[in-house]
Structure 1
Amino acid sequence: MEQVLLDQITALRAQLHACAEVSGREVVTKHTLLTFLREHTSLELHELAGGFYAAHREPEGTKPTVALRADYDALATPEGGAAHLCGHDGHAAALCGVALMLEGQSIGRSVFLLFQGAEETGAGAALCCELFDREKVGEIYGAHNLPGFPFGAVLTRAGTFACASRGVTIHFVGKPAHAAYPETGISPAPAVGQLLVDLPALAAPEQYRGITLCTVIGAQMGEKAFGAAAESAELWLTLRGEHDDDLARLRRSVLTRAQELAHKNHLEFSFEEQDIFPATENDVLCASRVMRVCRGTLLHDPMRWSEDFGHYLHRCRGAFFGVGAGEDHPQIHTEHYEYPDTLLEPTVEAFRALLTSE
């Protein structure tokens, strides 16, 4: 990659890093990206409900049209702000690097560069699937930086790259009572306690095709008022599965057991769900293509974290891959993490290989 182009996207990443915004509120971030593309390329720019895309069009030929995707939202911080602790600033800057390399070039295929917000909540990709209604897309690819893996290595696998997951909040409501007369009320404590005991068996691996996890995120029961017995409780869980059908089965098992315990203990029961991610299941041929043209390394096990790229793979064949950020690089979603600028060029080159190879 030419140094002048690398310098431009490095400066862009610094801009994006400085204006980090949480999912669904990426106003300045989106404006910064659009401004960069307007000033440095002649690509068509088109709005989507969950982001936008830049179009490089060529006469239809033998090579299928390819879409490349990058996310650009940041994580919320405990202080109420936002920070790029997952590297989406680097992902978006790298895709802008692809745009710079496409400028004025003929590569024998049309390309759509998809810029997406709200990945962290799982909401953005579903909105951006509008792309497939507007344009004819043959394949779609996306990448994520991977701390803990050799720097610059491209890693992928056929089948599940990243697990499906969803957040579940379970509500139990009983009857209030004075703490001196708890027998006159109905406490959610026995139901909460029993459900916590039962969760490991509900997620036991022998019942499923692949990885399943039921992680307790937290719980809240009653208030710190020593004169009143607990009346209500919430339990916060993250359910995770290597396959969509595994996650669906785990969800049914957990909610059925919670409802049984509510009935047994004369409690009202309800639940809410959020941050819903499908499994990111790579097409076999597209994953093989990544391995071949990017000189990739096989990722033996799926990533346990989730990625809403799976929504695109329900609409179009494609593959998601990782680019190693270094074996000693701080992990994503930690306070010491920052996307390494030196990873921009290997990521751009991996995307370029996918666009220019057969």
Structure 2
Amino acid sequence: MAVIPQSIIQQAIGWRREFHAHPEIGLQEYQTASKIRELLLSFGLEVHSGIAGTGIVATLRNGDGPAIGLRADMDALPIAEANQFDYRSVNPGTMHACGHDGHTAILLGAAHYLSLTRRFHGTVHFIFQPAEENAGGGRLMVQDGLFSRFQMQEVYALHNWPGLPLGEVVVSSGAMMASQDNFAITLTGKGCHAAMPEKGADPLVAGAQLIMALQTLVSRRLSPLEQVAISLTQIHAGEAINVIPDTLQLSGTLRCLSNETRKTCWRLLEEYVASVPVAYGVSGAVRWEYGYPVTRNHAAQAERLRDAAEHTAGISRVDGTHPPSMAAEDFAYLLEACPGAYCWLGADGATPSASLHNACYDFNDDLIAPGIGIWASLVERSLK
């Protein structure tokens, strides 16, 4: 079992708080990337910058053997921070509300520890990824040659998880996180005076029927065993109270835990949009913004990550059967390109953590030591 020196843990906490105070939005992580590069070079690693813009890959080699990748996301969110502690964000309207500051510090701590101890045979690639939040930095890194330029047999990531107790790790085989797609529906009718509805074709009535019909897509067109969420979240129509408008705009999101179900939902939603409004003399069209695929762990790598967590100081429970989340994660792109696994690290201490993407959220620094320990254990046990 790896014993992480207190000096490295305290350094990592300091780095984490520095990153928290200076958050940067996806693909703009210039200051963050510069600090990461500076630290990695000081550890004696081989450092490659500018991957997918601001991404970094650092390589540590120690003899012959396989190669694995460890990934941390490093971008922040466009949220005005409500916290008042000393290291709160100095960048207005931007904060680390998802813990990427902590994930980055954990990976830096692991790189420092492994560069000193080198109790493994093979190669470790430390992947610092930009733009996990919405911009798909994982996809951009894959497209920019992450796996062709840096040969690795497996890739891993972790995420802090409010709602789980400190010391608990969740890593399941199969789906961990849902796919995520956004859609925008336009219903086109014929505007008219609100007192003479027979002279027009009302897109609002058609829209109301479509909203309700889409709820039956999940309950009647898919198996009850499928896990799908279709949420209509925006509706815009009209300018005057006495006018039936020409058009109505609906927007929403689709989440699935199977990529095959995801494709079925694309088809069915388009069928509903095309057919339901017809009875009201209205036409419908849908525009998709295809997002992240399902984050699906590979079985062998999930078992390897569970084993590493079970042999990490500070980890009291490893759960391999926890239900997946309907939230999305762009590590999915890396798992589509390379075998690997992703885990959640419980974040709730004596006081429960604020939720992710909340203006009062702060990463729990008590996760730093077990987080570094998981990566050290994984490397030392996988690359014996």
Using the size of structure 2 for normalisation, the TM-score is 0.86
Q: Work out the CA distance in 2 between the residues paired with 1:56 and 1:357.
A: 16
Q: Work out the CA distance in 1 between the residues paired with 2:276 and 2:79.
A: 36
Residue 70 of structure 1, aligned match among 57, 72, 75: 72
Matched residue, 1:304: 326
Pick which of 133-142 and 207-216 moved more: 207-216
Q: SS at the partner of 2:15?
A: helix
The question of whether the paired residues in 2 share the 8 Å contact of 1:122 and 1:277 is answered with: no
Residue 42 of structure 1, aligned match among 45, 56, 65: 45
Matched positions, count? 355
Identity %: 29
Pick which of 75-84 and 279-288 moved more: 75-84
Tell me, yes or no, if structure 1 residue 324 matches structure 2 residue 346: yes
Matched residue, 2:301: 286
Q: Work out the CA distance in 2 between the residues paired with 1:99 and 1:244.
A: 34
Q: Work out the CA distance in 2 between the residues paired with 1:253 and 1:102.
A: 50
Matched residue, 1:160: 175
Instruction: Give the 3 Å change call, closer, same or farther, for CA 274–14 of structure 1 in structure 2.
Output: farther
Q: Work out the CA distance in 2 between the residues paired with 1:28 and 1:270.
A: 43
Residue 130 of structure 2, aligned match among 117, 120, 130: 117
Matched residue, 1:21: 24
Residue 275 of structure 2, aligned match among 260, 266, 282: 260
Cα offset, 1:317, TM superposition: 0.7
Gaps of 5+ in 2: 82-91, 311-317
Using the size of structure 1 for normalisation, the TM-score is 0.92
Give, as a single letter, the amino acid of the residue that structure 2 aligns with 1:56: L
Q: SS at the partner of 1:247?
A: helix
The question of whether the paired residues in 1 share the 8 Å contact of 2:273 and 2:286 is answered with: no
The question of whether the paired residues in 2 share the 8 Å contact of 1:43 and 1:103 is answered with: no
Tell me, yes or no, if structure 1 residue 6 matches structure 2 residue 9: yes
Cα offset, 1:243, TM superposition: 0.8
The question of whether the paired residues in 2 share the 8 Å contact of 1:74 and 1:83 is answered with: yes
The question of whether the paired residues in 1 share the 8 Å contact of 2:69 and 2:152 is answered with: yes
Tell me, yes or no, if structure 1 residue 58 matches structure 2 residue 70: no
Q: Work out the CA distance in 1 between the residues paired with 2:27 and 2:242.
A: 42
The question of whether the paired residues in 1 share the 8 Å contact of 2:188 and 2:248 is answered with: yes
Q: Work out the CA distance in 2 between the residues paired with 1:40 and 1:55.
A: 11
The question of whether the paired residues in 2 share the 8 Å contact of 1:139 and 1:316 is answered with: yes
Instruction: Give the 3 Å change call, closer, same or farther, for CA 22–184 of structure 1 in structure 2.
Output: farther
The question of whether the paired residues in 2 share the 8 Å contact of 1:122 and 1:275 is answered with: no
Tell me, yes or no, if structure 1 residue 217 matches structure 2 residue 233: yes
Q: Work out the CA distance in 2 between the residues paired with 1:14 and 1:321.
A: 23
Pick which of 119-128 and 30-39 moved more: 30-39
Q: SS at the partner of 1:293?
A: helix
Residue 96 of structure 2, aligned match among 79, 84, 88: 84
The question of whether the paired residues in 1 share the 8 Å contact of 2:47 and 2:56 is answered with: no
Cα offset, 1:81, TM superposition: 1.9
Matched residue, 2:84: none
Q: SS at the partner of 1:164?
A: coil
Q: Work out the CA distance in 2 between the residues paired with 1:165 and 1:215.
A: 11
Cα offset, 1:208, TM superposition: 5.9
Give, as a single letter, the amino acid of the residue that structure 2 aligns with 1:5: I
Cα offset, 1:177, TM superposition: 2.5
1:121-147 deviations in Å (ceiling 9; x for gaps): 151111111211112111000000011
Give, as a single letter, the amino acid of the residue that structure 2 aligns with 1:12: W
Pick which of 9-18 and 260-269 moved more: 260-269
The question of whether the paired residues in 2 share the 8 Å contact of 1:77 and 1:83 is answered with: yes
Tell me, yes or no, if structure 1 residue 339 matches structure 2 residue 363: yes
Residue 372 of structure 2, aligned match among 329, 348, 354: 348
Cα offset, 1:329, TM superposition: 1.9
Matched residue, 1:94: 106
Q: SS at the partner of 1:203?
A: helix
1:310-334 deviations in Å (ceiling 9; x for gaps): 1111111110011111162222122
1:20-62 deviations in Å (ceiling 9; x for gaps): 222333233223322332344433234311522111123332x
Tell me, yes or no, if structure 1 residue 246 matches structure 2 residue 261: yes
